Structure 1
Amino acid sequence: MASSLKLFHQFNHIRTFVNAKVKWVRDPNLDTAVLKEKDLKQIISLKNQIISSPSKSLTIYNASMLKPSLNLPTTTMKFVDKYRHVFAQFQPSPGVPLHVKLTTQALSLHKEEMAVHDCPANREDAAQRLARLLMLAGMTRLPIYVIERLKWDMGLPHDYITTLLADYPDYFDVCVVEDPLSGEEVLALELVSWRKELSVSELEKREMSLNYAADKRKHDIPFPMFLPKDFALEKRVKTWVEGWQTLPYISPYEDAFHLDSNSDQAEKWTVAILHELLSLLVSKKTERENLLCYGECLGLGSRFRKALVHHPGIFYISNKIRTQTVVLREAYRKEFLVQKHPVMGMRYWYIHLMTKA
Structure 2
Amino acid sequence: MSFKKRGPFVSLQLMSRWKNLVGLNVSIGGFVGKYPHCFEIFTHPFRRNLCCKITQKLKEVIVEEENVIRECEIDAVKRVKKLLLMSKNRVLRVHALRLIRKELGLPEDFRDSVLAKYSLDFKLVDLETLELVDDDDDDDDESLGVAKVEEWREVEYREKWLSEFEMNYAFPINLPTGFKIEKGFREELKNWQRVAYVKPYERKDMSRGVERFEKRVVAIIHELLSLTVEKMVEVERLAHFRKDLGIEVNVREVLLKHPWIFYVSTKGSTQTVFLREAYSKGCLIDPNPVYNVRRKMLELVLLKNRHSKELSRTGDETHEEKSDVVISSHDDWEGERDGDWVLPILMKSD
TM-score norm. by structure 2 comes to 0.72
1:126 maps to 76
Matched, 1:275 2:231: no
Aligned-residue Cα RMSD (Å) equals 2.9
Percent identical: 32
Tell me how many residue pairs correspond in the alignment. Answer: 288
Shift of 1:295: 1.9
User: Against the structure 1 CA distance between its residues 334 and 234, is the aligned structure 2 distance closer, same or farther, given a 3 Å change threshold?
Assistant: same
1:247 maps to 195
From 125, 130, 140, the counterpart of 1:189: 130
User: Against the structure 1 CA distance between its residues 341 and 231, is the aligned structure 2 distance closer, same or farther, given a 3 Å change threshold?
Assistant: same
Give the number of the structure whose residues are more often helix, by fraction: 1
User: Against the structure 1 CA distance between its residues 94 and 304, is the aligned structure 2 distance closer, same or farther, given a 3 Å change threshold?
Assistant: closer
CA distance in 1, matches of 2:203, 2:151: 19
Shift of 1:333: 1.4
Higher-RCO chain (CA-CA 8 Å, sequence separation at least 6): 2
Matched, 1:207 2:148: no
User: Against the structure 1 CA distance between its residues 61 and 209, is the aligned structure 2 distance closer, same or farther, given a 3 Å change threshold?
Assistant: same
Shift of 1:109: 1.2
Q: How does 1:170-185 map to 2 (within 5 A)?
A: 170-176=120-126
CA distance in 2, matches of 1:324, 1:290: 10
Q: How does 1:1-357 map to 2 (within 5 A)?
A: 56-91=8-43, 93-95=45-47, 97-119=49-71, 122-176=72-126, 187-193=128-134, 195-209=141-155, 211=157, 220-248=168-196, 250-262=198-210, 264-302=211-249, 304-356=251-303, 357=306
CA distance in 2, matches of 1:272, 1:304: 12
CA distance in 2, matches of 1:172, 1:267: 30
The one-letter code sitting in structure 2 at the alignment partner of 1:110 is I
User: Against the structure 1 CA distance between its residues 107 and 304, is the aligned structure 2 distance closer, same or farther, given a 3 Å change threshold?
Assistant: closer
User: Against the structure 1 CA distance between its residues 132 and 353, is the aligned structure 2 distance closer, same or farther, given a 3 Å change threshold?
Assistant: same
Shift of 1:62: 4.4
The one-letter code sitting in structure 1 at the alignment partner of 2:222 is H
The one-letter code sitting in structure 2 at the alignment partner of 1:287 is E
> Could you report, residue by residue, the CA deviation over 1:285-306 in whole angstroms, capped at 9, with x for unpaired residues?
2222222332244442326445
Shift of 1:308: 2.1
User: Against the structure 1 CA distance between its residues 354 and 162, is the aligned structure 2 distance closer, same or farther, given a 3 Å change threshold?
Assistant: same
The one-letter code sitting in structure 2 at the alignment partner of 1:311 is H
Shift of 1:197: 3.0
SS in structure 2 at match of 1:117: helix
CA distance in 2, matches of 1:172, 1:313: 35
CA distance in 2, matches of 1:87, 1:306: 38
Contact 2:89–2:244, Cα closer than 8 Å, also in 1: no
CA distance in 2, matches of 1:86, 1:100: 10
Contact 1:60–1:99, Cα closer than 8 Å, also in 2: yes
> Could you report, residue by residue, the CA deviation over 1:170-208 in whole angstroms, capped at 9, with x for unpaired residues?
2223234xxxxxxxxx82222223633311111122333
Contact 1:153–1:283, Cα closer than 8 Å, also in 2: yes
Shift of 1:279: 0.7
Contact 1:85–1:106, Cα closer than 8 Å, also in 2: yes
The one-letter code sitting in structure 2 at the alignment partner of 1:258 is M
Contact 1:88–1:102, Cα closer than 8 Å, also in 2: yes
Contact 1:137–1:273, Cα closer than 8 Å, also in 2: no
Contact 1:293–1:301, Cα closer than 8 Å, also in 2: no
> Could you report, residue by residue, the CA deviation over 1:63-106 in whole angstroms, capped at 9, with x for unpaired residues?
44444554455443333322221122345643465543221111
User: Against the structure 1 CA distance between its residues 60 and 324, is the aligned structure 2 distance closer, same or farther, given a 3 Å change threshold?
Assistant: closer
Q: Which runs of 5+ in 1 are unaligned?
A: 1-54, 177-185
CA distance in 2, matches of 1:103, 1:85: 7
